[in-house]
Structure formats: structure tokens, C-alpha cells
Structure 1
Amino acid sequence: MKRINIRPLFLCLASLFPLFGNGQTPAQKFEGKILIENGILHTGTGQVIERSYIVVENGKITLVKNALAYTLDKSEFDTVINAQNQHIYPGFFAPNSTLGLTEIDAVRATRDFYEVGEYNPHVRSLIAYNAESSVTSTVRSNGVLFAQATPRGGVISGSSSLFLLDGWNWEDAVRLQDDGIHLHWPGFIKRNWKTVKANEQYTTEREKVNDFFTAAKAYAEDNSKDKSIDLRFEAMKGLFTGNKRLYIHANYIQELLDIIDFSKELTVQFPVIIGGYDSHLITAQLKDAKIPVMLGRVHDLPQRESDDIHLPFKLPYLLQKAGVTFCLQNAGDMEAMNARNIPFLAGTARAYGLTTEEAITAISLSSAKIIGVDKLYGSVEEGKMATLFISKGDALDMSSNKITTVLVDGNFMDLTNRQEELYQKYKRKYTSEEN
């Protein structure tokens, strides 16, 4: 009897799933003047307009007013959307994410976020971004319209880029190329499933990072014409001129204190901490150093037995109360597909201290400021790009987040996706059987 090994066949077929997935047609250019009226507008800046007018022309927001105190001639508009009793939000962000860089976590061929080697600042996520991802279309359905596609692995994993989750290809979707370099700071504590102990090599590993950055800074300051080109150091020049962020992945207090000193010594212009589990313990130092934090996943367990069981839920409130700039992100297991839950992370943070508007800011304007695109995105304000969505209910509550309309740069986005199609398919099936 001939035996067939089905495992390679299964993996081969699984790797083809993205090719047959439901890649949505990007939003087509809308020519005309749009009015969104009567909606409950959450601007992203902390302001709420209970009954609003929003005017969109040529992809930009040209007017935001209280409809109760302002008069418009509706005959001027090509499209009028009545959002009465619905909520309007700026597009939400998924910072520090592999969204767009991976499709099926169990299929290696679809994971394009990890490179070999320890120091890879010249690696770019930019051209690896997959605009045809089927995962992306499900994430957009909850209001997450931006992703900071971020490489992983090594000590320096490379450069991230910010993408609008709409476009024919990465050239269409990118909104900020190579926004920053990602450094994974040496761990002061070593953990595995059995033990937690101090890292005896911490000082050595930290000095190695310092030496690499010192060499990179010297390279950036060397203006001689005959110097040899180093692609790794070329990628890092923007860290010292202010053109790039340095995203430093770290959690524990000793690491965070060392990062503050490290950033000062090397005059890194825009350091950002990613993770920051112990950041609530040194808020004064972070605030003085003007270092923002991309907090780790709110839906997580405490890192120490002595910690408050609710500490991960409370961290956003603790930083908000101390005046530290922060945003929320979702790095961890299955992070690409779970990016759709970012609004609900903000909802949890709201339940543990943040106000509704503070929670919205934590996944919109704060993210935009930290990444560096807040002049165009992150809030619903005059002069910014019209990237926003309308929900029938509270977007931070999974029981009421039901999006009806999405605008991306003033164009109407198609909200269908593979999961929605399956839902409608089997809803019809079982409804017809009941009848």
C-alpha cells in the first residue's frame, strides 16, 4: 500500500490560503464634498461634540462645528451622512505590530518579520508589508485603520513604517517610511517557565549596545567624503538628527533607568519605551526626560507574585495621572489578528480609571504623536486628513462596536471581509432551514 505524507501537503495548501483570501478592493477616490451631521463626535483630543457637523473636501477635514450653534447650507454637498445617535471616532492605531507582515502564524512562509543576526538596523519592514492581507480586513472592521509594521528578532530588529490599512500595495498604504529603529534592551531579569533570576550578563550586554550606538553616533557625525559606507550605521543616522524615533523594548525598573541615562548620554532625540511594565514606578523620571511609553498588552497577567492582580489593567491610568505620555499596543501571541481588539484594550483601561475620552486618545492621537504623524492623523480636527469611522454604539465596548461607515483620507472604505461573509453565509443557511 502506498503511503502519503499529508503533513507537507497540508502545509503547502495552508501557505496558499493568503493567495485565495478576501483581499478587499481599496477605497476609490471620492470626488465631491461630504457632510457628516448630527453624530456624537469624539475628536481624539479629549473633546466631545454631542451633535456635530464635519465637512470633508479633497480628503481633508475643512470644518468641525457644533451643529446646535452653526448653520450650513446642505445643498452645497454632494453627500450628506446623517449620523444621528451614532458615534464618530478618529481611526485607531495598532503600534508595534506584525500586522501586514504575517498571515498564518503556524506557516513559516507567511511570517515576514524576522531576520537572522543580532544588529540589523538596516532591515526595513516597508517593502515586506502585504496590502492584500486577509487579516487586515478583519482588523479594520473594529476601527483600527493604522498599523506600525514592526520587525522582530535580535538586539536591533530594524526599522518600522506606519501604514494606513488601505491600498493596492505598500507604496499606496505607507504614511510614514522608516519612522524608527527598534532596539530590544538586554533583560535585567531572565525568565523561563521554571525560574526567574537576575541576568548575570546584563552589564556586558548593555555595554555592547552602548558601544554599537557610540560607533553609530561617531559615524553620523563624520562628514568626511572618503569614509566607507556602513549600511547599518546609515540607517541609524536619523536617531541623532531627530528624523527617527528610537523604540526601546524594555519592562523592568533597572532597564528603564538605564535607558534614560543611555538616551541622555548619546543625545538620542526621540526615545520611546515599548512595554514599560515598571514605568509607573518612575513616572517623574520619564516625564522629566520626555520619554513616552507604548504600554504592553493591557489584557495580561502580573509579572510578579507580589503585584496587584489588576496592575496591567491599571497601568494606563497610573501613567495618565502622572502626566506621562503613553499609548496602547498589543504585541504578544497572535498579535496580528488580535489587533482588532485594540479598542477593547482601551475599554478595559477605561474600566480601571481612564475616562472615555482619555481611553480614545490612548489609541488615536497619543499613538499618532508618539509615532510622529499627529499633524495629519490621530484626531478629527480641521486641517487633518479625513480618516475616521462611524459606529452605531460605543466603539470601546465589544457588545456595541458596530461600524457603519469608514472614511480613509476622505474616501469610503469597503467594510466587507472574509469573516463577515462567512457569518452572512451561515446566517442565511440556518435562517432558511428554520423557515
Structure 2
Amino acid sequence: MKRILNTAILGAASALALSALPAAAQNVVVANATVVTGDGSEPVENGVVVVENGRVTYAGSADGRSYQTDVIIDAEGAWVTPGLFATVTTLGLVDVDAVSESNDSRAGSSPFSAALDVAPAVNPSSQNIMIHRAAGITRAATTTLPSASIFAGQGAIIDLDADSNPIVKARAFQMVDLGEGGASRAGGSRAATYALLRAALREAQALTGSRGIPQTTEIAQDAEVLLSRFDAEALKPVVAGTQKLYVAVERAADIRSVLALKNEFPNLDMVLVGVSEGWLVADEIAAAGVPALADPLDALPTGFDQLAATQSNVGRMKQAGVKVGLNTAGIENPRRLAQQAGNLVGLAKMPGASGLTWGEAFASISSIPADISGMGGQAGILAQGALGDVVIWNGDPLEVTSVPTRVFIGGVEQSLGNHQSRLRDRYRDLDESDLPKAYDW
């Protein structure tokens, strides 16, 4: 395809359009690009992406198309992808981990657990949101973490836009911690964990009157159960199947026990999180139709519930037919989500190991976690009707040295600046004469 316009003219036109338009969805064409649609297919060279009124109207081969629109960007062969979808995260809840006043990720002293709703606490001006936006992450599932109970509370789907309302869907899922973490909070044993979980779900059923249990406003008293009335009420949509239940679980035996819950509570819409030993029971997970958000590369166990951890876990579950996305909580630095996906591509080339193809790896951090989170066809993908989340990279996005150069969320171009980038720019070219006076101390 002929370049639509000279690169210099395009750059000037883009800058002029961006400066003239308010922060509203624009009509944008990215041409002459290596297009990644995010659906698991391989990249398309000499491709084009069209975003109109905040939605993707076309993504794929250029096919001699021409356009007249607000902003036309000549990518000059650069990689263009949908925005990354990060899950499970605490984005918007933490600025400094070690400073409790700026950390809303845990509520260990709260009388509530399942009733906690993360949506009102998300801060769209959080530096963590800005930093991850600059890494190409445009949407995320964010939640508080289990602390006082096995239940963490109700997580939300957020966008990383620079506007004042980051909540895409409040109360999108309930988070529960089983295995070693849950056992320690429930009384010191996995037996106590499952007893608490079943009791909580049955109380929620009693409040709804489902499965033949008479509806009642009376639930067990505090001396008889570890949930308040508000927590039990919060679990009603879980037992009804209208709210997803994210289950943090690692050990193969625990995964089997979790899957068995569907026999007692058939409406549960479960998602397995962590799943270090998932490869041992991959056929059972696939048969149950339960998706997984797995840690990318668990090479060594970090606890007794991960003794069978292997780097081939994700690849083997994928081969067994499990829908697998990558779990951001299992990554030390969530900004390296794309790098972790790239590691699975490299793993596929190792003799005897199981990894992912390039297209599968990118889908595991884009369309698959979006689909698991309830945004299938809307986020993490460049397809007609999807949200206009578009990222332009300076190289292969799954390579460690590649970074985004431009990010659009819902058709609106975003700033990539943050505290870290400003500190980098401030001190990168200084010599000794520019050092602060206190440096000599």
C-alpha cells in the first residue's frame, strides 16, 4: 500500500489535530503498521487500524484502503496492538506499598470482607495507573486482597484513562483465597477454609431462596459463622451466577476440591487464579469449562502448595483445552506483563518444554483475560465494535526492550508521563556540577 501521506506531514497533522481537539474520542487511522489483532492470530504486515467514535471499525490488511479522518498516523512498519488487559491487580489502590496511608489494598481490621467494594476507593490519579498505562496496559481487573477473611471483596474492571472515572464495571467479581493463604485465615486448616466457604455460600442461597432452600432473613449469628449479614448479602450474586468468583488456588488437590463445588452450587461462575499445579489436573479443568488466570513462569515452588510448579504449566493447560490468561498478581513487576508473555514464546522453543505461539502468548495478556473478566469482544482485541484501545510500540511488544510510543484508550490519546519518567528525564543528562548539594554528604 502507498503511504497515505508523507511521514513529516502526517506527524504535523497529527500533532495539530491532537492539540486542537478536547479529550474526547477521535477518529484515528493507524496505517502502514504491523497489526496484532489480539485474537491469537499472527501479526499482519502492512496493516491498518481504524477507530471511529471511540470504537474499532476495522483492523487488518490495508487492501488499498484510503481514509479521510481526524488523525492519520503512519506507523512506518511499527507494531500496533490492542491495549493489554491486566488481572488480578491492585491498580488504583496503592501509591507506596510501605506507606499504609497510601495503600488501600488490604483491610485487615475491617469488620467486612465479602461486602468490601473496591470501586469507590480507586484513585484515577495514582502513579501506578500512570506507570502501567505507559507500559501499554489500558484496562485491568483490580481488587483488594484477602486479609481478615478468605474473602477479599468485590473487584472492579477499570480503564487506565486519564479521566476522573476509571470504573468500567463495579462489583465485577468476588475474590476468595483458598489453599495455604485461606487456611491460615480460616483457622489454620484447609478443612476450616472449605467449611467457611460452603457455609458462606449456603447463607447466600438462604437469602435468595435458591435450590430449594427457603428464603429467610435469618442467618447464623456471629458466634456461629465468620460472616456478617452484609458479607452474606454480597455473596448473593455469586451463588446466582451473576457475579464471577475468582478463586486463588495452587495445589492440584485444592483445584479438584474447588471444581467439585460446582456440584453443590451449579450456578457458580468460577475463575481459577494462580493455578501453579494446574497442569496436573488440566483435563479436569477443561472438562469443567472453568478458565484460569495462571502465573506465567513458576519455575520453583514458593510454598508447599506449589511443589509441582513448572514453567510449562501454562502451555500444558493450553494444550489440554483450558482457557488460560496470565495472572498479573503472579508477576513481581506487572509492567513486565508483555515480557512474561514473550518468555512463554521462548519456552515453546525449548526441547521438552511447553509454551505458547506468539499469537497465543499475546492473546494471553489481551483478549483472553478480557474475555475471562466479562469484556469479551470489547477489550484486548482489535475487531469491529471493540473499544478503541490501541498501542503503538517501538518494536516487537513481547521483547523486553520494546516500549509503547503512543497509547489510545477509547480513541483518546493518553499521556505516557509519570513521576518515574520525569525523574529519568531530569537526571539522565546531568553531570557532577548539576548534582544536588546534599549529594556530597
TM-score (norm 2): 0.81
Instruction: Flag the 1:370–1:358 CA change in 2: closer, same or farther, 3 A.
Output: same
Q: Distance in 2 between matches of 1:332 and 1:361?
A: 17
The structural deviation recorded for 1:200 is 7.6
**Residue of structure 2 equivalent to 1:124:** 117
The structural deviation recorded for 1:180 is 0.8
- Structure 2 residue 94 is the aligned partner of structure 1 residue 96: no
Paired residues for 1:251-270 under 5 Å: 251-270=250-269
**Residue of structure 2 equivalent to 1:208:** 196
2:375 to 370, 373, 376: 373
Give the partner amino acid of 1:316. V
**Residue of structure 1 equivalent to 2:233:** 234
Paired residues for 1:396-407 under 5 Å: 396-399=398-401, 401-407=402-408
Deviations 1:327-353 (A, max 9, x none): 1123268x5xx2211111111122112
**Residue of structure 2 equivalent to 1:218:** 206
Kept after mapping to 1: 8 A contact 2:25/2:410: no
Instruction: Flag the 1:273–1:118 CA change in 2: closer, same or farther, 3 A.
Output: farther
1:78 to 70, 80, 83: 70
Select between 402-411 and 292-301 the one with higher mean Cα deviation.
292-301
Q: Distance in 2 between matches of 1:117 and 1:245?
A: 23
Instruction: Flag the 1:38–1:165 CA change in 2: closer, same or farther, 3 A.
Output: same
**Residue of structure 1 equivalent to 2:3:** none
**Residue of structure 2 equivalent to 1:315:** 313
**Residue of structure 1 equivalent to 2:154:** 159
In structure 1, the residue corresponding to 2:261 is in which secondary structure? helix
**Residue of structure 1 equivalent to 2:346:** 351
**Residue of structure 1 equivalent to 2:421:** 420
Kept after mapping to 2: 8 A contact 1:143/1:403: yes
Paired residues for 1:26-41 under 5 Å: 28-30=22-24, 32-41=26-35
In structure 2, the residue corresponding to 1:313 is in which secondary structure? coil
Instruction: Flag the 1:270–1:226 CA change in 2: closer, same or farther, 3 A.
Output: closer
Q: Distance in 2 between matches of 1:120 and 1:190?
A: 16
Deviations 1:387-433 (A, max 9, x none): 0201010111122x121111100011111122222222223324999
Deviations 1:346-380 (A, max 9, x none): 11122112111111000011101111011311101
Instruction: Flag the 1:317–1:297 CA change in 2: closer, same or farther, 3 A.
Output: closer
Give the partner amino acid of 2:209. E
Q: Distance in 1 between matches of 2:400 and 2:315?
A: 21
**Residue of structure 1 equivalent to 2:13:** none
The structural deviation recorded for 1:244 is 0.8
Instruction: Flag the 1:268–1:248 CA change in 2: closer, same or farther, 3 A.
Output: farther
2:133 to 118, 129, 140: 140
Q: Distance in 2 between matches of 1:40 and 1:52?
A: 6
Supply the RMSD in Å over aligned alpha carbons: 2.9
Q: Distance in 1 between matches of 2:284 and 2:29?
A: 45
The structural deviation recorded for 1:307 is 8.7
Instruction: Flag the 1:186–1:46 CA change in 2: closer, same or farther, 3 A.
Output: closer
In structure 1, the residue corresponding to 2:81 is in which secondary structure? strand
In structure 2, the residue corresponding to 1:429 is in which secondary structure? coil
In structure 2, the residue corresponding to 1:166 is in which secondary structure? coil
Paired residues for 1:285-324 under 5 Å: 285-296=284-295, 298=297, 301-303=300-302, 311-324=309-322
Gaps of 5+ in 1: 1-26, 192-198
Deviations 1:290-320 (A, max 9, x none): 11111125266335799999x5432221111
In structure 2, the residue corresponding to 1:421 is in which secondary structure? helix
Instruction: Flag the 1:408–1:28 CA change in 2: closer, same or farther, 3 A.
Output: farther
Kept after mapping to 2: 8 A contact 1:220/1:234: no
2:177 to 177, 184, 190: 184
Kept after mapping to 2: 8 A contact 1:91/1:146: yes
Kept after mapping to 2: 8 A contact 1:119/1:156: no
The count of corresponding residues between Structure 1 and Structure 2 is 390
In structure 1, the residue corresponding to 2:392 is in which secondary structure? strand
Select between 144-153 and 285-294 the one with higher mean Cα deviation.
144-153
Q: Distance in 2 between matches of 1:226 and 1:258?
A: 28
- Structure 2 residue 397 is the aligned partner of structure 1 residue 395: yes
The structural deviation recorded for 1:276 is 0.7
- Structure 2 residue 57 is the aligned partner of structure 1 residue 55: no
1:382 to 381, 384, 388: 384
2:166 to 165, 173, 184: 173
Q: Distance in 1 between matches of 2:92 and 2:135?
A: 16
Kept after mapping to 2: 8 A contact 1:186/1:206: no
Gaps of 5+ in 2: 1-20, 220-228, 348-354, 435-441
Instruction: Flag the 1:233–1:369 CA change in 2: closer, same or farther, 3 A.
Output: same
**Residue of structure 2 equivalent to 1:360:** 362
The structural deviation recorded for 1:265 is 1.2
Q: Distance in 1 between matches of 2:216 and 2:255?
A: 38
In structure 2, the residue corresponding to 1:273 is in which secondary structure? strand
Percent identity between matched residues is 23
Paired residues for 1:269-280 under 5 Å: 269-280=268-279
The structural deviation recorded for 1:189 is 10
Q: Distance in 2 between matches of 1:176 and 1:235?
A: 16
